[in-house]
Amino acid sequence: MVKVRTPPQLDNIMATVKPLVRLALAACCVTFLIGCNPDPPAAEQPKQGKDAAQPAQPGAAQPPRQDAAQPAADPAKPPAPEKPQDDPILSSSTPGGRGNGTPGKPVSAWIAQLHADDVNARFDAIAALGNIPFGQKPPEAATQALGKLLKDADQNTRFAAALSLAKHGPFGVPAFLEALTDKDAGVRKNAASCMGPMPQINAAWPDTAEAAMSALGEVLMNDKDKEVRETAARTLGAFGVPSIPMFLKAVKTGDKDARRLAVRALGRVPKVIYGPDPPRILLTTIPALIPLLKDEDAGMRTDVCKTLGAMGDQAGEAIPALLLASKVQDSTGVAAVDALALIHKAPASAAPALLPFLRDPDPSVRLKAAEALCASEEGDKECLPALVELVGRRDSKIRQGAALVLFQYGSAAKEAVPALIEAVRNDPDAKTRIAAINALGAVGPDAKAALPGLKAILDDREVGPAAQAALKKIDQ
């Protein structure tokens, strides 16, 4: 065999590498053995019979489990404290706000961060403490911390804390109620504006809602600051129907400012309650509002008109009073006319008060009275002559309106047929002619005198289709 000599340099390299290779091989062997037997061998076999270990009893102290696979604790590093059950992890989410959206932390850590020097860190903490699902009981410490901030000297901090505390739902209401009695008007206003969300609280926690409404009603009636009272009225209205008794009390017994705020708030109560079947409590407000249409303050009268108009046909009882108010030469008159346009029906009890308006000098007042009486099926004998006269007025809106009301009378308007025929033949306004044609069709066979005139206008592009429909109803 030929022996090959290697250079001295290669011998030096091999001498250095061989120990490293041996160490690597040894490490691989150890890793292989650990993988094949991951569980450490038992130190002792479990005993049988009387000496066998008994199962642990509930509540008994247990020794800590020693797991050989766990790394040894570092004595230089203190162990992490366990998180108590009432210290859950909350995350901060302030999109578009002043915070930074810090990841989740325990409640105790967020409360500590409320005292940070960095303003963004404080706002992050405030936002995080409000991240509680509605209806879920929040940690008491979080509610208390936010409640204290309702009286913070910084306005922005107070507002942010109020928004977060509102997310605590009924659990945050006591803190808001306490803030409503603070000496600082800014604190009271902030508490009144952010309390909520009231509809959900009212539905699920009626006792808490009742306490909140009572406190807000007290602020509405007695607070010395106008802005605080206005804010309380808006928030109180967010309760919907249950807030009506509080506003009714203010209308009846409050001072001038409280009455006016209550009147406005009643007009802002969610319109859903002004449906075909309104709550009985709503109807009790109308008799309390009607006398205010004669209030010495024009602003009060205007607000009452707007609120009654918002109630729609449910405020039909107020039509006579609104007709009187429409004659006032100020903002009251304009508001009353607008309200009357939204109220079309009057109860039978209002008929005696409406009948005199059929002889009012103002044609628009006569028309409105006739419309209301027609809708209530009262005063037909008095209404028809007034409507026949109105069909021939100069104002096209009055003529058209009279024809529209006669259409509602149907066959009962047969005595108006001559006036309607005249309107179809000579009225210059196409809309009025169409309204008159429709009224003749509603009369039916008793309007046969109108057949020649209707046939003559079948080719008219504006009124021909209405004439053709009316002919089918009359010529039966």
Q: Which of residues 278 and 164 earns the better pLDDT score?
A: 164
For the stretch 119-162, pLDDT in tens is: 999 999 999 999 887 778 899 999 999 999 999 999 999 999 99
Domains of the chain by range and CATH? 378-476 (1.25.10.10)
Q: Which of residues 212 and 346 earns the better pLDDT score?
A: 212
Residues shown for the chain: 476
| pLDDT for position 25 | 54
Cα–Cα dist 129/269, whole Å = 32
- Does pLDDT of 195 surpass 90? no
Buried b (16+ CB within 10 A) or exposed e, 229-244: bbbbbbbbbbbbebbb
For the stretch 263-319, pLDDT in tens is: 999 888 755 444 455 566 777 899 999 999 999 999 999 999 999 998 888 888 999
Answer yes or no: are the C-beta atoms of 53 and 62 closer than 8 Å: no
Answer yes or no: are the C-beta atoms of 454 and 424 closer than 8 Å: yes
Cα–Cα dist 11/177, whole Å = 89
| pLDDT for position 393 | 85
| pLDDT for position 333 | 93
Provide Rg for the chain, Cα atoms. Answer: 41
Q: Residue 16: pLDDT band by 50, 70, 90 thresholds?
A: low
Q: Which residues face 89 on adjacent strands?
A: 106
Query: Which residues neighbour 293 within 8 Å (Cβ) at sequence distance 6 or greater?
Result: 301, 304, 305, 318, 321, 322, 324, 325, 332, 336
| pLDDT for position 8 | 53
| pLDDT for position 15 | 57
Kindly report which listed range (10-14, 108-112, 260-264, 266-270) carries the lowest average pLDDT score: 10-14
- For the ranges 99-108, 328-337, 394-403, the maximum mean pLDDT occurs at 328-337
| pLDDT for position 41 | 42
Cα–Cα dist 32/209, whole Å = 68
89's tokens: 């992890």
Q: Residue 452: pLDDT band by 50, 70, 90 thresholds?
A: very high
Instruction: Match 């490490």 to its residue by tokens.
Output: 27
Q: How far is CA 446 from the centre of its chain?
A: 52
Residues of the chain with pLDDT > 70: what percent? 74
Q: Which of residues 98 and 466 earns the better pLDDT score?
A: 466
| pLDDT for position 58 | 38
Pairing, β 89-90 against β 105-106? antiparallel
Could you tell me the CA-to-CA distances from 138 to 110, 129, 333 in Å, in that order? 14, 9, 53
Furthest CA-CA distance within the chain? 143
